[in-house]
Amino acid sequence: MSLKVFYLDDEPDLLQLFMETFQTDQIQISTFDNPDYAISEAKTNPPDVFFIDYRLPLITGDKVAGKVPSSIYKVLVTGDLNLNLNYSFDQIVEKPFKILLIQNTLKDLLAKKLAKLGPEK
Amino acid sequence: METQKLTKLGFFQYDLKSNKFEASPEFYNIFDLPKNLRDSSLLDRFWKLIHPDDWGFVSRLFDQAIKSGKAFTIQHRVLADDGKSVRHVQLIGKAANFEAQTSVISGTYQDVTDIANMEFETKFILESMEIGTWQLDVENNKLTWDDSMYRLCCLNAEEFPDPLKAVSAIMPSVCKEKVFADVKASLKGVDDYHSTNEIITPNGLHKQLRSRGRVLKNESGQPQKVIGISWDCTKEKEMEAQLRAERAIAIHSSKLAALGEMSAGIAHEINNPLAIIAGNVHLLKTVDNDPIQFDAKIASIERAILRIEKIVSGLKKFSRSSGCTERKREQLDQIISEVLTLVETKAKSHNTSITTEVSPGIELFCNEVELEQVFLNLINNAIDAVKDLDQKWVKLKAFKNSHNYIIQIIDSGKGISEEAASKIFQPFYTTKPVGDGTGLGLSISKGILDQHNAKIFINHQMANTCFEVWFPVPEETESQHVS
């Protein structure tokens, strides 16, 4: 039983850091630098939580969010100021992000997922 | 006879011994004398026509001419029969000597009333406009000033009969050297004399005197004299300085507006590497016993710091005060690279690709910061113009033709209407939605380019929207290329 996490960003160093920092036995992270591929994966194999960068090649994060299943918990990760978003995200995390904040988000979501499934047998 | 009439030129001859005075018909016409007058009666009547205020110097000059036997020229006034109307005449005469004694004076009289009136009007206009006139006799190194020149310099002609000494008294030595250098240059060259210099009047007033002069040459092409005018341009200079200051403020405001438009993107560009730094610092603690991982994290931090440094340095340069107008030789590709650093986030957020084709080695004599602003305005506008199109691209091309460096900013748009093109460089003209544009970017860009003797226009021959900036290639560079 684990939390399935996607992270889409065009910064390879950030993808690597995200993976190294938050990957645990209970948190399985997949990273993407290609928006089309991430959208396709999210449709066929939806994650529990999808971290999406705002400024991406040829598309913005809010447009990506609009193209993936609404059931996914979506977190916008952005270094921008005063965004005019066309999508209502579940959470917005500002860059440079606080590691503890993301860890807490992931823990909460994992706890909720576990609670939803009931006690393990 | 007809020629005499047309030129208003009358001949006369006066024999002193026989007291015989003869004159041509035009002479009678000029002085409006009855045709039947001859000899002494003609002479008496003629003397009476001379303006009473001019009798003294006319008599003196006649006496001198008789004694010297040299040719002489006199301009004096004559009265009409009514005793009121005044006309101006010019005499060119010569006394002829026989047996060491002057016996005959002959010469021509010309009615120069029209010329004299014109001179009077010109003098009146120049005096009203507080314009002084001067003349430099090159051969004798003698400077002559009119009354207005003395008034302009707040000097007394009696105290300074020699204007060259007056110049020394009121002009700081540096300016004096510059004046002499400018005069020398205009004597050698083909250009008119142009100079603006500071003077300090005896009552301590600082004035800027602007002068224009023309070199007059003799038949063999040697400079004979320089004639010119001077006027007080202190207020003009003050206004120029004020305009420069206001222009600098407008440029700075436009810069700040451009920075405001880009601030979201710039924040993203800085926050991304900051996130990398923060994340790596956090992980450093976990890999301190793994030298390879540790070094990789440090390298990642260093790369992120360099990215921030680059954007901050670009911003720092761009945000510099516009008061600095220093121009230097700058590499165009360097200027464009700095601009691209600033616009790439905006381009990225608008999904607009930017490509460049800049011929290497293009060097412009310019103010780097001002030119960065011009190209930033043009590229920003291009990105905005294509944001709703399916194809979104901007191309920058720079190359040299025979006499110009040409920089093209082409975007995927389909051109600009003739109507919009006619107004596009006017201040406050914008096609952007209210609040999105100041309408000052292009007019300020044009102003900056005008100052650089460069031109900006829309190339309507291209299939896509194309702004072109033309910089004249300096002559020395042209000749270097030719050789």
B264-304: pLDDT as tens digits: 667 877 888 999 999 999 889 888 888 898 998 999 999 99
Would you tell me how many other CB atoms lie within 10 Å of the CB of residue B24?
A: 17
Mutate to test the interface with A, among B259, B261, B268 (most CBs of A within 10 A): B268
Query: Would the CB atoms of B274 and A79 count as touching at under 8 Å?
Result: yes
3-state secondary structure of B93: strand
Q: Which residues of A touch B275 (CB under 8 A)?
A: 11, 14, 17, 79, 95-97
Tens digit of each residue's pLDDT (9 = 90 or more) over B80-135: 877 778 889 999 988 876 555 667 888 999 989 888 889 888 888 888 888 999 99
Answer whether A81 touches B (CB < 8 Å).
Answer: yes
Secondary structure in 3-state letters for B215-237: EEECCCCCEEEEEEEEEECHHHH
Count Cβ atoms below 10 Å from residue B243 Cβ, excluding itself: 10
Phi, psi (degrees; rounded to nearest 5) at B360: -70, 155
| Predicted pLDDT at B482 | 33
DSSP label at residue B35: T
- Residue B291 corresponds to which tokens in the numbers above? 């030298």
C-alpha span between B243 and B238 (Å, rounded): 9
What CA–CA distance (Å, rounded) separates B155 from B422? Answer: 52
User: Can you give the pTM of this predicted structure?
Assistant: 0.51
Check residues B258 and A61 and name the one with the higher pLDDT: A61
What phi, psi does A98 have (nearest 5°)? -85, 125
Instruction: Note the pLDDT of residue A108.
Output: 94
C-alpha–C-alpha distance, residues A80 and A8, integer Å: 16
- Mean confidence (pLDDT) of chain B: 84
**CA dihedral of B44, B50, B56, B61, whole degrees rounded to 10:** -80
Angstrom distance (rounded) from CA B371 to CA B351? 25
Rounded to whole angstroms, the Cα distance separating B426 from B269 reads 33
Q: Where are the beta strands (DSSP E) in B416-481?
A: 455-458, 465-472
Q: Is the pLDDT reported for residue A57 higher than 90? A: no
Q: Do residue A13 and residue B304 have CB atoms under 8 angstroms apart?
A: yes
Condensed to tens digits (0 to 9), the pLDDT of residues B336-378 reads 988 888 888 788 778 899 999 999 889 999 888 888 889 988 9
Q: What is the pLDDT of residues B54-91, one digit of tens each?
A: 999 888 888 888 887 788 888 999 988 777 788 899 99
- Residue-wise pLDDT for B299-341, tens only, equals 999 999 988 887 777 777 666 655 566 788 889 998 998 888 8
Chain A: nearest CA to B394, how far in angstroms? Answer: 15
- pLDDT computed for residue A121 by the predictor: 46
Task: Report pLDDT for B401.
Answer: 87
Structure tokens at A60: 């913005």
Whether ipTM > 0.90 holds is no
Maximum Cα–Cα distance for chain A, whole Å?
47
Q: What is the pLDDT of residue B66?
A: 80
